[in-house]
Amino acid sequence: MRLPYIDAADPKAFTTPEDHAIIARVRARRAPRPLQPLDLTLLHSPAVADGWNSFLGAIRTKTSLPDDVREVAICRVAVINQAWYEWAHHAPLAKAGGVSEEGMELLEQPDLDGKNGSEVLSKKLWAVVDYTDAMTRDVAVKDGVFEQLREHFSEQEVVEVTATVAAYNCVSRFLVALDVGEKNAWRSPGVSNSK
């Protein structure tokens, strides 16, 4: 970690009623779990932590996306950006959402060229993978990739998939730049440690 984690229990760490309200909102979203290393880093700037909490809370819990779709997108962002803290938190959620072990092994590979069409993932999930990879690697998404996504998702869902990929690119870049969770050296690129 490049910055010390905030001690949210330290009465000197936060002095204003606004800061205490922010911490309460972050705790409420995380409940019943404790604050995470990401929260304890963001709380160096309570206003940023508050906005982050609201935005990511909406992405995680208020969209219409099924769990497998949301978590596949998040896991692909984590792999491409080598955000292993993010992967460690979201790979179990993808499995719980119905992604098979074989699907997770596939998602964990940085380069999926030539693997699209594998029956390990449904066509719908492949559309999410291709779209996520394009947004994350290239930013601009080619028409063919977008049209593949549109075949499987409503306009609302396209917005939600896009917002999820964009949000978790933000998350991953923050995590990696500040080495939140001390996971950057967890593995070499392309080498699986999930087994």
What separation in angstroms does the CA of 176 have from each of 40, 70, 165, 184, 191? Answer: 15, 21, 16, 7, 18
Looking at residue 188, what is its pLDDT? 44
Note down pLDDT in tens along the chain; length 195 residues.
Answer: 899 999 999 989 999 999 999 999 999 999 999 999 999 999 999 999 999 999 999 999 999 999 999 999 999 999 999 999 999 999 999 999 999 999 999 999 999 987 776 789 999 999 999 999 999 999 999 999 999 999 999 999 999 999 999 999 999 999 999 999 887 656 544 444 443
Residue 195 CA to its chain's centroid (Å):
21
Do residues 121 and 98 make contact, with C-beta atoms less than 8 angstroms apart? no
Q: Give the Cα separation of 148 and 153 in Å (integer).
A: 9
Phi first, then psi: give them for residue 111, nearest 5 degrees. Answer: -110, 115
Phi first, then psi: give them for residue 94, nearest 5 degrees. Answer: -65, -45
Looking at residue 85, what is its pLDDT? 94
Query: How much is the CA Rg of the chain, to the nearest whole Å?
Result: 17
Residue ranges of domains in the chain, CATH in brackets: 17-61 (no CATH), 67-182 (1.20.1290.10)
Q: Is the pTM of this model over 0.85?
A: yes
Length of the chain: 195
The Cα angle at residue 89 between residues 83 and 92, in degrees rounded to 5: 125
Q: At what angle do helices 155-178 and 143-150 cross, to 10 degrees?
A: 120
Q: Which residue from 145, 176, 190 is spatially nearest to 81, judged by alpha carbons?
A: 176
